[in-house]
Chain A
Amino acid sequence: MAQLTYRASVSLAIAQSMRKDQKVFFIGEDVGAAGGVFKATVGLLEEFGKERVMDAPISEQAILGAAMGAAMTGLRPIAEIMFSDFLAVCWDIVANQIAKTRYMSDGQINIPLVIRTANGGGSKFGAQHSQSLENWSMMIPGLKVVAPSCPSDVLGLMDSAVKDPDPVIFYEHKSLYAFKEEIEQTDISIPIGEANMLHEGKDITIIGLALMAQRAKEAALILKDKHDINAKVIDLRSLVPLDLQTIKKSVIETGHVLTVEENPRLCGWGAEISSLISEHCFKNLKGPVTRVTTPHVPLPSADILEDNTIPSVELIVNEVIKKLKGE
């Protein structure tokens, strides 16, 4: 049993995949000799050498293009995009090429690659280095979208992502890199598409992802201790594929739903989930599905501004109380 940070679990997860399968290689900017700007890939170059851990130029299109082409031949690249915001400069390769080539080729081509990227706010980096962009990739048919909330999920989901025959975007949350967990077994696999129940309760279902799942869990502990409210907290772990069955089961039990999203409001993933719930569980609902999101603004930088933009534990607690007690 060892304590592992989210950061260390990333490099361990990559190393475990690379040890198991010679077809796996890793490519990105500053990932090898420097160990990554978040130090999440330290030690990989030393263990696997330059042929399998490639330091690339600042060429996001060329990085993802090379990963895609290699994947088309059956290799299993893991490509890093340093900040998820930079996906905007290679979005053609992601959304037009990687996502669509299997379909357009009538299944002649598989693209088994993983794009891992540092996502989300909390670091006061401002509007171009802090975005939470899972919903961008969720809108594109052909991409799987994973966002782990804890070290064990990083390990288990990375194992599945690398083995997956389809392209997976793996959003690591910057504010979780220091998050610690006691881990018994590191070489684990968690199927993509299975949500995780972080907290049990009968009064309301709170649905979150990545950092927001952890905040929802903290909120649930406060709600239970101080307000006698028992919340179920679902960590979706992935948006595509989505574990709709777990959501449905939970909504049938509680009748109240709150989604907690870090993305700006418009077309956030919670909107899609809200729509699915009204389609599938309308009769089980005791009130409207509501959403807590970042407001529809670019993320500001100053401490007080960013802290009041991204949904906080306190905000989640208050929203739940408002919903259930009408306060």
Chain B
Amino acid sequence: MVDKLNDDIGEEKRLRLWEMMLKLRLVEKKAYDLFLQNLIKGTSHLALGQEAIAGAFGVALKQGDYTFCTYRGHAHTLARGSSIEGVLGELMGRQCGLMKGKGGSMHLTDVDKGVMGSYAIIGAHLTIANGTALASKYNKTNEVSVCFFGDGTTNIGAFHEALNMAKIWNLPIVFVCENNLYMEYTPIHEVTAVEHPAADRAGAYNLDKIIVDGNDADEMLRTAEKAISKAREGKGPSLIEAKTYRHSGHSRADPGKYRPDEEVKDWMENKDPIKNYRAKLLDFNINEKIISEIEEKIKDQVEKATEISMASPIPEIKEIYTDVWANGGSEWHN
């Protein structure tokens, strides 16, 4: 019998990846429950179904590396080790939130963990992520910057400006396109000149064409590690297109009716990254007890964090006037 488990990834890392993905899944589910209870206001974009991508990078990155994500960024933030109550508290507008309610769901930021912000204007953060990568090069340090975005983002100018700049300056950065087949409500193929929205553009910037099954956690991890090493070794940027699917609508307000039932069913039943990874771990002869213990542990963590968030006070009104400027205030005249 081949020793499937002790391959390049191994048991320890697989269990970390399992725990990570499960945490992202269960927190997003909790976020959904909290909306239904009207405890989360505003909008929110869940990454349910896309956990293998953020999860793999969370496992592959080192402390000190920089990540940039979009409004669909709860998972990417948690994947860097931010606390669950920091994320849920921010969604609920509580003092325990990562930004004490000043940013909200679409702007999660946790600099201590390398989460350099979540950005809600399509495309901008690709250019900004180049800046942290440029800083690493300028300072001759070896952090890697990673920037996550959607398929729809490949059609805005900033995407193209950022790729060109990253290449000409050989920046230590990994661009990760999460192709979930839809830009908001429109199928991406209806509005894009090429079949693979990111990968088919890679050649224009002298980058390799990389397409990966973003729901296969092991493959995602291998792809992430390879691109991160390349950047860390000073060999320049990568652009990865990871195929995936979101289980829920685009945002809180969207029931996702524009997607064919068959398509949704197929991705939910046959291509769910979590369900498939669990089966894989069993197939690799990992004891089911270990898998379930992790499940219990994460469920417990999410419940505790929810309690902490619900008990956390709402922000003080005076916070409106803080932190516009580095002096902590908001005055604009003497």
Contacts and interface: CB of A to CB of B under 8 A. Distances in A.
Interface of A: 25, 51, 54, 56-57, 59, 61-62, 64-75, 92-93, 96-97, 101-110, 112, 141-142, 164-166, 193, 240-245, 276
Contacts of A102: 323-326
Nearest to B326: A165
Given A61-B161, A193-B334, A242-B333, A103 B130 contact: no
A5 to B, nearest CB: 31
Contact of B131 (A70, A104, A108, A245): A70
Contacts of B134: 66, 69-70
B71 to A, nearest CB: 12
A212 to B, nearest CB: 19
Given A106-B103, A242-B334, A59 B164 contact: yes
A166 B110 CA distance: 19
Interface string B121-140: 10111111111111110110
9 contacts: A25-B138, A57-B161, A68-B127, A70-B131, A72-B132, A74-B135, A104-B99, A110-B326, A276-B333
A243 B333 contact: yes
A166 B325 contact: yes
Contacts of A62: 127, 130, 158, 161-162, 164-165
A105 B99 contact: yes
A57 B167 CA distance: 12
B132 to A, nearest CB: 4
Contacts of B333: 241-244, 276
Contact of A240 (B109, B138, B322, B332): B332
Nearest to A194: B334
Contact of B128 (A97, A107, A165, A245): A97
A75 B138 contact: yes
B77 to A, nearest CB: 12
B332 A65 contact: no
Contact of B109 (A25, A68, A109, A244): A109
Nearest to B173: A69
A44 to B, nearest CB: 16
- Mostly helix, strand, loop or mixed at chain B's interface? mixed
B161 A106 contact: no
Interface stretch (B6-14, B111-119, B301-309): B111-119
Contact of A51 (B138, B323, B331): B138
B126 to A, nearest CB: 7
Among A54, A61, A64, A72, the one with the most B-chain Cβ atoms within 10 Å of its Cβ is A61
Given A104-B99, A108-B109, A61 B124 contact: yes
A61 B158 contact: yes
Nearest to B315: A106
Contacts of A166: 325-326
Contacts of B328: 107
A192 B122 CA distance: 34
A142 B132 contact: no
Contact of B334 (A67, A101, A244): A244
Contacts, number: 161
B130 A108 contact: no
A104 B139 CA distance: 27
A246 to B, nearest CB: 8
Given A75-B135, A193-B334, A96 B121 contact: yes
B278 interface: no
B107 interface: yes
A65 B162 contact: yes
A92 B124 contact: yes
B330 interface: yes
Contact of B158 (A65, A71, A106, A165): A65
Given A57-B164, A62-B164, A103 B102 contact: yes
A164 to B, nearest CB: 8
A219 to B, nearest CB: 25
Nearest to A145: B332
Given A92-B158, A97-B124, A165-B326, 19 more contacts: A59-B164, A61-B123, A62-B162, A68-B128, A69-B128, A69-B129, A70-B131, A73-B136, A74-B135, A92-B121, A92-B123, A104-B102, A104-B107, A105-B109, A107-B322, A108-B109, A142-B324, A241-B333, A243-B334
B100 interface: yes
Interface in B138-175: 138-139, 145, 157-158, 161-162, 164-165, 168-169
Contact of A105 (B117, B127, B165): B117
Given A92-B121, A166-B326, A276-B333, A105 B111 contact: yes
Given A57-B165, A104-B109, A108-B99, A65 B124 contact: yes
Given A97-B119, A106-B100, A72 B131 contact: yes
